[in-house]
Amino acid sequence: MHKFLTLAALAAFTLGAQAQPASAPAGKTGEKPHKCVAEAQAKGLSGDAAKEAIKACREEKKVKVAEHAKKKEACEAEVKGQGLKDKEALAAFKACMKKD
- Rounded to whole angstroms, the Cα distance separating 75 from 41 reads 37
Query: How does pLDDT run across 39-69, given as a tens digit for each residue?
Result: 999 999 999 999 999 999 999 999 999 999 9
Contacts by residues 89-94 (CB-CB < 8 Å, ≥ 24 positions apart): 89/4, 89/7, 90/7, 90/10, 90/11, 93/7, 93/8, 93/11, 94/11, 94/15
Which pLDDT score, from 0 to 100, does residue 18 have? 44
Query: Measuring CA to CA, how many Å separate 5 from each of 12, 13, 19, 26, 77?
Result: 10, 12, 22, 36, 11
Question: Is the separation of the CB atoms in 82 and 36 below 8 Å?
Answer: no
Q: Give the Cα separation of 39 and 55 in Å (integer).
A: 12
In the predicted model, is pLDDT for residue 23 greater than 50?
Answer: no
11 falls in which pLDDT band (50, 70, 90)? low
Q: Please state the domain extents for the chain.
A: 35-98
